[in-house]
Structures are given as C-alpha cells and as structure tokens.
C-alpha cells in the first residue's frame, strides 16, 4: 500500500538512518522486532526538551521499510513542533507498526507492542494514529502506563479525533477570515479529503455552518454513509486537486501538497488534519505563498487531539482543553499575520514560534529530561 511520505525523499541506502532526508537531529530511534507475533515497529524520539516525547502509533502496510522509517522520522519531528507551538510541555515522538491494521492487528500484538513501549521507561508516550483505535490504547494500558488516548471508562481522555476536528475547524475558520475577510462559511465550497475519524466530524462542523461540502475517500462505505448523513457531494475521480472549491481540507494522508497538486489547486485556503501535508516544507510552502493560497500549518491546526490527551498528563479539565483547542483560531490568525508582516511562509512563521519556545526552555536550563 502506498503512503506518500515525502516525494523528494529517495532513501539513502548508504547511510540508512542518519542519512535519510527525514532525519533531523532526532535523539533516539528504536527498532522493535518480535518473532512470535510478527511485530515490527519503529519508535522515533525527535526532541524531549519540553517534556516526554508524545505522539501516536500508526499501523500501516508500508511498501517497504524505508517508507516506514521516513514516516516515523517525519511524524515524530512534526510532533515536537505541534506540542511546542501549542504551548504544551511535551516533546515529539511517534511510532509506526509495519502491517495491515485490518488483518494483522491482534490483542497479543498490541500487548507485545505495549511491552516494547514500556521498555523505553516513559521517554516516549504513545497514543492513537491511523490504523489504531481507543480500544488498542486500552489493551496497551494493560502492560504499560506510558500510553495516552485511553478510553474515558478506563480513566483516560478517550478518542482524540473530535478534539482534533474541532481544532481543524477553528484553524480553517481563522484562515478563511484571513483570506476572505470573514470567517463565515455559509456557501463556501470545501473539499474534505479523507472522511475517517477526524474528517467525518469536520464535515459535521462545516455543514452545521452551511458550507457546501465535497468529500473524497478510498473507503466506498464511508463516503456513501457520510454523504447521506450530511448531504454532501462525492468526488471519486483522481482529479481532486483541480476541483473548483474555495477551501481544501486534507484529512487523509500526508504530502498531498507537492509539485503535482499545487499547480492544479483552485482552493484559496488549505486547512486540514493530515500530518506533514507539505511534501517538501520549504519548497511547497513557498509555492503556496506565491499562488496567494492561505495555508494553515498542519501541526498548528491539528493539535486539538494532543491538547485533549494532555489532560492525561497534566491536571487540566476537559473544559480547559476545549478552550485551548478553540484558541487555535487566535493562534492561527497571529501566525498568518506574522507571516505576512515578515514576508515569510505561514509554515515558517509557525515553525519559528515553536522553535523559539524550545530554545527559550533550553536557555532557561529547566530541561525536564
Ligand atoms: P483515519 O484512518 O480514521 O481516516 C483517514 C481516512 O483517509 C480514511 O477514511 C481513509 O480511507 C482515507 N484515505 C486514505 N488514503 C486515502 C487516499 N489516498 N485518498 C482519499 N482518502 C484516503 O485517520 P484520522 O484519525 O481521521 O486521521 C486523518 C489524518 O489526520 C491522518 O493523517 C492523521 O495522521 C492526522 N491526524 C489525526 C489526529 C487524530 O486525532 N485522529 C490528530 C492529528 C493528526
């Protein structure tokens, strides 16, 4: 199964780990293998200056191990900046399990994975990502406390997707205000690519505001059901990037903003849940800027889930987490304005803010690890 991790990232087979384009000062990369269960997993700890490295586990049927490695490297780095820009005392990490979640995921495999996570002693805290469910987190919790996104019945914060969807919705509204002068979504044409856990709830928020939605997904059952429930249009073709829409919300896989898609885009706002939307951060954020497209940085607007999970680590209330998630609206507006003022890309502006927080913590000497 192809998951485009980075279109510019041809594996460097001479320097298999530190030589990857996605390698970026990562602190630790751990490979796990279990013969009995067939578990093959990689954990990437990018940065732990602000706190323990937190990030979900993705179970995906990668074409090859290079794709899995590059995915975990890119995703864990993204988590560092997501936590930092959101003001959370967490570092960035991520895990991938190589395998098909629909056919190869078993309770025994999850427990074994949990034991591996436990062996890291809390340096890495896991959670859900694509291919994983709250139920899996509950199973992992049986063998380790170093897991978040556990169900509410088991004392956790539950499925993070509704909070992620709320944050994306707030970021999307802010970017719409910046681009069009008003955040009113009534009548706006919006393409939602991927109507899974996050995409579906985002569609609900958007239709509640009177937006006109087109959905696209490879899961035929999901598009049929969601189209009926929320009265949306469906687009099945591969020509989705050239659709005549105002806003594009990528909520499936990463790297959809690339050399192929950007020249075709008619949308003037991009805001979605997918991680690592820019195939090449520098080049493609610049191309979007040149086309006059307002790009709401992914790691900023999709932070609602991690903000909700933060309740399991710091003693903050559910309502406080909701307010922090709603505040993504203000942070997005600030970052978009900062980018405009400094004539830099919106991605760079968000990145600068996050990096400043990490640098300040380093300078203060209050590093928790
Ligand atoms: P999900 O697995 O529930 O949904 C993803 C959807 O995308 C599925 O319906 C799938 O069929 C569809 N899809 C996959 N490949 C596609 C393709 N080529 N074209 C169209 N559709 C395709 O995942 P999710 O939890 O909804 O997360 C969506 C994205 O947001 C992921 O990139 C994830 O990493 C990111 N994200 C999720 C959360 C969260 O709280 N769940 C938080 C932050 C970021």
- Is 94 catalytic? The answer is yes
270 with 294: CB under 8 angstroms?
yes
Q: Are residues 153 and 175 in the same domain?
A: no
Residue 254 CA to ligand 1 center (angstroms) comes to 9
pTM: 0.91
Ligand 1 contact, 251 CB (< 6 A) = yes
**How much of the chain exceeds pLDDT 90, in percent?**
89
Q: Tell me the pLDDT band of 14, cut-offs 50, 70 and 90.
A: confident
Q: Are residues 117 and 178 in the same domain?
A: no
Q: Are residues 203 and 120 in the same domain?
A: no
Give the residue, by CA position, lying nearest to ligand 1 atom 39.
Answer: 161
pLDDT tens for residues 281-317?
Answer: 999 999 999 999 999 999 999 999 999 999 999 989 9
Annotated catalytic residue within 94, 112, 123, 177: 94
Sign of CA dihedral 11, 12, 16, 18: negative
- 244 occurs within a structural domain: yes
Q: Tell me the pLDDT band of 359, cut-offs 50, 70 and 90.
A: very high
Q: Tell me the pLDDT band of 19, cut-offs 50, 70 and 90.
A: confident
45 with 29: CB under 8 angstroms?
yes
Q: Are residues 153 and 71 in the same domain?
A: yes
- 130 occurs within a structural domain: yes
Q: What mean pLDDT do residues 318-336 have? A: 97
Q: Is residue 178 pLDDT above 80, yes or no? A: yes
Q: Are residues 213 and 270 in the same domain?
A: yes
Q: Are residues 136 and 235 in the same domain?
A: no
For helices 346-364 and 65-85, the axis angle rounded to 10 degrees is 70
Q: Is residue 125 pLDDT above 90, yes or no? A: yes
pLDDT in the model for residue 5: 41
pLDDT in the model for residue 239: 92
Q: Are residues 298 and 173 in the same domain?
A: yes
Measure CA of the first residue to CA of the last residue in the chain; give whole Å: 37
pLDDT in the model for residue 218: 95
Q: Are residues 155 and 166 in the same domain?
A: no
Residue 198 CA to ligand 1 center (angstroms) comes to 7
Q: Are residues 335 and 193 in the same domain?
A: yes
Residue 138 CA to ligand 1 center (angstroms) comes to 21
Atom number, ligand 1, closest to the C-alpha of residue 161: 40
Among 127, 143, 159, the domain boundary falls at 159
Ligand 1 contact, 106 CB (< 6 A) = no
Q: Tell me the pLDDT band of 106, cut-offs 50, 70 and 90.
A: very high
**How much of the chain exceeds pLDDT 70, in percent?**
96
Ligand 1 contact, 217 CB (< 6 A) = yes
- 100 occurs within a structural domain: yes
Distance between CA 333 and CA 202 in Å, rounded? 19
Q: Tell me the pLDDT band of 176, cut-offs 50, 70 and 90.
A: very high
Residue 200 CA to ligand 1 center (angstroms) comes to 10
Q: Put residue 181 in one of left, alpha, beta given phi > 0 → left and psi -120 to 50 → alpha.
A: left
- 20 occurs within a structural domain: no
pLDDT in the model for residue 244: 98
- 63 occurs within a structural domain: yes
Q: Is residue 4 pLDDT above 80, yes or no? A: no
Q: Are residues 90 and 179 in the same domain?
A: no
Q: Is residue 7 pLDDT above 90, yes or no? A: no
φ, ψ (nearest 5 deg) of residue 83: -65, -45
pLDDT in the model for residue 9: 58
Q: What mean pLDDT do residues 46-57 have? A: 97
CATH number of the domain within which 340 lies: 3.40.50.720
Q: Which residues of 66-93 are buried (b: 16+ CB within 10 A; e: fewer)?
A: bbbbbbbbbbbbbbbbbbbbbbbbbbbb
Atom number, ligand 1, closest to the C-alpha of residue 273: 30
Q: Are residues 185 and 264 in the same domain?
A: yes
Task: Judge residue 25's burial from the number of C-beta atoms within 10 Å of its C-beta, 0-12 exposed, 13-18 middle, 19 or more buried.
Answer: exposed
Task: Judge residue 320's burial from the number of C-beta atoms within 10 Å of its C-beta, 0-12 exposed, 13-18 middle, 19 or more buried.
Answer: middle
Q: Are residues 335 and 206 in the same domain?
A: yes
Q: Tell me the pLDDT band of 8, cut-offs 50, 70 and 90.
A: very low
Q: What is the extent of the structural domain holding 167?
A: 162-303+329-349
Ligand 1 contact, 191 CB (< 6 A) = no
- 313 occurs within a structural domain: no
pLDDT tens for residues 223-238?
Answer: 999 999 999 999 998 8
Q: Is residue 160 pLDDT above 60, yes or no? A: yes
Ligand 1 contact, 240 CB (< 6 A) = no
CATH number of the domain within which 150 lies: 3.40.50.10860
- 318 occurs within a structural domain: no
Length of the chain, please? 369
pLDDT in the model for residue 369: 54
- 200 occurs within a structural domain: yes
275 with 254: CB under 8 angstroms?
yes
Residue 193 CA to ligand 1 center (angstroms) comes to 9
Give the mutation target among 252, 253, 301, 309 for probing the ligand 1 site: most ligand atoms within 8 A of CB. Answer: 252
Ligand 1 contact, 308 CB (< 6 A) = no
306 with 54: CB under 8 angstroms?
yes
**Number of compact structural domains in the chain:** 2
């Amino acid at each position: 199964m192809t998951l485009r991790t980075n279109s510019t990232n041809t594996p460097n087979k001479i320097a298999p780990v530190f030589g990857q384009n996605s390698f970026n000062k990562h602190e630790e990369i751990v490979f796990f293998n279990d013969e009995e269960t067939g578990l093959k997993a990689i954990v990437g700890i990018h940065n732990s200056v602000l706190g323990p490295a937190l990030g979900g586990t993705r179970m995906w049927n990668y074409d090859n191990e290079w794709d899995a490695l590059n995915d975990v490297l890119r995703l864990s780095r993204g988590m560092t900046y997501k936590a930092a820009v959101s003001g959370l005392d967490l570092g960035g990490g991520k895990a991938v399990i190589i395998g098909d979640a629909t056919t190869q995921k078993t309770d025994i495999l999850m427990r074994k994975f949990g034991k591996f996570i436990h062996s890291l002693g809390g340096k890495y805290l896991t959670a859900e990502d694509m291919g994983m469910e709250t139920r899996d987190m509950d199973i992992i919790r049986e063998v380790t406390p170093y897991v978040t996104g556990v169900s509410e019945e088991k004392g956790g914060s539950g499925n993070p997707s509704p909070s992620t969807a709320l944050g994306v919705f707030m970021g999307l509204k802010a970017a719409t205000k910046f681009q069009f002068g008003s955040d009113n979504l009534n009548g706006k044409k919006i393409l939602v690519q991927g109507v899974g856990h996050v995409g579906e709830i985002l569609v609900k928020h958007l239709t509640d505001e009177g937006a006109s939605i087109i959905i696209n997904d490879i899961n035929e059952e999901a598009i049929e059901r969601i189209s009926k429930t929320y009265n949306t249009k469906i687009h099945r073709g591969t020509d989705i990037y050239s659709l005549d829409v105002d806003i594009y919300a990528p909520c499936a896989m990463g790297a959809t903003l690339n050399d192929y898609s950007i020249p075709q885009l008619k949308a003037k706002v991009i805001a979605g849940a997918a991680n690592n939307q820019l195939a090449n951060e520098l080049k493609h954020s610049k191309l979007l800027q040149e086309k006059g497209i307002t790009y709401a940085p992914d790691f900023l607007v999709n932070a609602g889930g991690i903000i909700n999970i933060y309740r399991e680590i710091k003693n903050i209330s559910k309502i406080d987490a909701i307010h922090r998630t709603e505040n993504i609206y203000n942070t997005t507006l600030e970052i978009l304005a900062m980018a405009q003022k400094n004539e830099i890309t919106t991605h760079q502006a968000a990145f600068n803010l996050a990096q400043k927080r990490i640098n300040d913590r380093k300078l203060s000497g209050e590093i928790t690890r």
